[in-house]
Amino acid sequence: MARIRPSKPMAVFGALVGAAILVFGLVTFPLDRPFIWLWFAVGLGIIGFNLWAAFSRNGATGVIEQDRR
């Protein structure tokens, strides 16, 4: 079984893009609308997933299983 993970620079870049999404949403949308909370949750999810993939020992975005017969 082989794990597939992004390179650390790409995963950190993805986290930075997630942070930019958060800042854009917080500056653009009014805070009294429910949509901003969804935007905020998705942005945090992007950041968390990318940082997990970059720095976790088992941080893999996919797994390839090989069937050797």
Q: Please write the tens of the pLDDT for every residue from 12-51.
A: 999 999 999 999 998 998 888 888 999 999 999 999 999 9
pTM for this structure?
Answer: 0.76
Packing angle of the helix pair 8-28, 34-55 (nearest 10 deg): 170
Neighbouring CB atoms inside 10 A of 50's CB total 23
Domain ranges in the chain?
2-64
Q: What are the backbone angles phi and psi of residue 54, rounded to the nearest 5°?
A: -80, -40
**d(Cα 17, Cα 31) in Å, to the nearest integer?**
21
Query: Tell me, what's the pLDDT at 56?
Result: 82
CA 5, 8, 12, 17 torsion: positive or negative?
Answer: negative
